[in-house]
A = this chain, B = another copy of it.
Amino acid sequence: MEKFFNPHSVAVIGASNSPFSLGATICNILKHISFSGGVYAINRKGESIGDTPGYSSVLEVDEEIDLAVVVIAARHVPDMVRDCGVKGIKNIIIQSAGFSEGGPDGEVLQQELDEVSRRYGIRYMGPNCLGVLNTHGNFCCFFGIVPGMYDDVFEKRGNVSYIIQSGGVGALVIDSLQSEVSKINKVVSIGNKADIDEADLLDYFKNDNSSVIGMFLENVECGRKLFEKAKEIDKPILVYKVGRTSEGARAAMSHTAGMANNDVIFDSACKQAGIIRLNSISELHSLPKMFTAMPPLRGKRIAVFTNSGAFGGISADFIVSSGLEMAHLTSETQEKLRKTGQLFNASNPIDVGPGLSTQTFIDIFDILLSSGEIDGLLPIPNVWQDVVIDSIVEIVKLCQAYEKPAAIYIPNAAERIISIKNDRQIPVFESPEEAVRALEVSYRYHDYLSKKELLAWRKYYKDRAREEGQPHRNIDQSVSLRQQAL
C-alpha cells in the first residue's frame, strides 16, 4: 500500500498535450509540488509534457515503475492495465469513469479489469476516483481541489487523513481545512472501490503517521471487514455515511455503483467498533481539531465561560441534550472566581463583564481547570478586543498543561471567526452546537477506549487465572483497580 502514497516513480497513462488533458495536469502538479520521484507521461504519440518525458507505452520505459495513474477513456483501461501487468507494475490508480456506475457496458469493462488485475497480481484504486494526495510525501494525483490551493496544502502538512468516496466532498474538506488548525496528511478518493476499499486503507492508516481518520462513504460492501479493521485501531475514526434513508441510499447508488445497507445495523456496528458517526459533512473538517489540538475529555462535567450572557443558557441546553453535564462549582471555587474581577455570575455558566484583562481571563481558566470540579471547558468569548483573542491563545496552552480540553466557540459572524482562525491558528468552533458536539465526541471516544482497555485487562486476568489453575477466581477487584488507574 505504501507505493500508492510514496511511489519512487509514477507513470501517468493518458497524459498528453491535447487541451484539458487531466494527465498533463497531474504531471504539472507533481512538478509544481517538487515530487522527487520519476514521472513518465504515457500517450499514443509518446509526446513529452514539458519536462516530463513521454512514451507511447509503459513497456517502453526502462526504469522500474512503482505506480501507474490511469486517466484514459474506460474502454482502453483493461488493455493499459494489461501493459502495466507485463511491465511489472503492481499498483494502479484508475481515475477513469464509466465502469459499474455506467450501466451494462461498464459492467463488462469492470469484469475485464478484474480478470486482468487478478492475472498480474495488481492492486488498484477506483475506478471512477480522483486519486491520492500525500502531503508529507509531496505526492499528489488528486483532482478536484480548488486551483491555486496546492501550495497551502503542501506547505502546511498535518496528521489528519481521509478516505473519501467522492471527489466533491474531498475537495470541500481540503478547502475547508485551510482555515483549521488541523491539517491534512493524506487524502484518498476511493470511487467505486472495486478492489481496494476503505477497510484496506484503514489497515494502512493504522500504523502510519495519521492521528485522526475521516471517512465519507456512500456505501459499505464488506461491513464485517471494515468493523474488524476499525476495532484494531486506536485512532479516532470519523465517518459520514450516506443512506440514512432509502432515498439517500438510492441516490448514492447511482453515483458510485454501491449497494444500499441497513442503516440501523451500520449505526450499531459503528458504536461497537468505536467509529464516530457524523451528522453532517462539515463535521469531517470541524471535529478533527478536537483530537489533534486538545487533550481528551475524560468526564462529563463541563464549565461554560462567556462574556456574552445569553450563550450561557444556549449552550447549557446543548450540553444537557448531548448527554454531558453542567459542572457544579463549589462555593470555594465561586469565591475564587469572584475575586478575579467583575463577574456577573460565578456559578456555572460563568458570565463576565466587559473590560477584563488577558490576565484575568487566564486566572479564571486556571481556577476552573485546577479545581477538580470540571472535566472540560466551553469558553464562549465574544471577540471584540485583542485582549480576548490573546486570552484564547492562552486557553489552548492551559488545556495542554492541565490535560483537560476546551471547545472554544466565538459568537461572532462567520467571516470574523474564519479570519481569526486563519490569523491565529487556534482551535475554534463556529457554533455553540458544534463546540458541544466536539466535547461529546471527545468524551465518547475516550469512553470507548477506556472500556476497550478494561476488556483487555479483564481478558488478561482471566487468562492468568486459568493458567494458574484458578478459573473461578473473582477478577472484578483487579479490573476495578485498573479502572481507577485510568
Chain A positions within 8 Å of B, measured between CB atoms, are: 146-147, 165-169, 171-172, 175-176, 178-179, 216, 218, 242-252, 254-256, 280-282, 304, 308-314, 316-317, 319-321, 326, 344-345, 347, 349, 351, 382, 384, 411-416, 418, 430-433
A245 to B416, CA, bound (A): 30
- Chain B residues near A250 (CB, 8 Å)? 316
Number of this chain's copies in the complex: 2
- Chain B residues near A175 (CB, 8 Å)? 412-413, 416
Q: Give the residue name and chain of the B residue nearest to A321 (CB).
A: B245
B254 and A312: CB pair below 8 A?
Answer: yes
Given contacts A146-B384, A310-B255, contact A247 B280 (CB under 8 A): no
A431 to B179, CA, bound (A): 17
- Chain B residues near A281 (CB, 8 Å)? 314, 411, 431-432
User: Which residue of B312, B319, B414 contacts A414 across the interface (Cβ within 8 Å)?
Assistant: B414
- Chain B residues near A304 (CB, 8 Å)? 251
User: Which residue of B146, B248, B256, B431 contacts A314 across the interface (Cβ within 8 Å)?
Assistant: B248
- Chain B residues near A416 (CB, 8 Å)? 146, 175
List 28 contacting pairs A-B, 8 Å CB cutoff, sorted by A.
Answer: A147-B384, A168-B309, A168-B310, A168-B311, A169-B311, A172-B411, A179-B415, A242-B310, A243-B317, A244-B317, A245-B317, A245-B321, A247-B316, A248-B317, A251-B304, A251-B326, A252-B312, A254-B347, A254-B351, A255-B312, A255-B344, A255-B351, A280-B433, A281-B411, A281-B431, A282-B431, A414-B430, A415-B418
A304 to B179, CA, bound (A): 29
Q: Give the residue name and chain of the B residue nearest to A249 (CB).
A: B313
Q: Give the residue name and chain of the B residue nearest to A355 (CB).
A: B20
User: Which residue of B242, B244, B310, B384 contacts A321 across the interface (Cβ within 8 Å)?
Assistant: B244
B168 and A251: CB pair below 8 A?
Answer: no
Q: Give the residue name and chain of the B residue nearest to A411 (CB).
A: B172
- Chain B residues near A314 (CB, 8 Å)? 242, 248, 281
Given contacts A179-B413, A317-B244, A412-B175, contact A169 B251 (CB under 8 A): no
A251 and B313: CB pair below 8 A?
Answer: yes
Distance in angstroms from A459 CB to nearest chain B CB is: 39
Distance in angstroms from A72 CB to nearest chain B CB is: 17
A245 and B431: CB pair below 8 A?
Answer: no
User: Which residue of B245, B349, B433 contacts A251 across the interface (Cβ within 8 Å)?
Assistant: B349
A168 and B312: CB pair below 8 A?
Answer: no
Given contacts A165-B310, A255-B312, A347-B254, contact A172 B412 (CB under 8 A): yes
- Chain B residues near A242 (CB, 8 Å)? 310, 313-314, 317
Distance in angstroms from A256 CB to nearest chain B CB is: 8
A316 and B172: CB pair below 8 A?
Answer: no
A176 to B165, CA, bound (A): 33
Distance in angstroms from A426 CB to nearest chain B CB is: 17
A316 to B345, CA, bound (A): 45
Interface centre among A165, A175, A245, A248 (most CB of B within 10 A): A248
A382 to B431, CA, bound (A): 24
- Chain B residues near A255 (CB, 8 Å)? 309-310, 312-313, 344-345, 351
- Chain B residues near A326 (CB, 8 Å)? 247, 251
- Chain B residues near A246 (CB, 8 Å)? 320
- Chain B residues near A216 (CB, 8 Å)? 310
A165 to B165, CA, bound (A): 45
Q: Give the residue name and chain of the B residue nearest to A318 (CB).
A: B248
- Chain B residues near A280 (CB, 8 Å)? 431-433
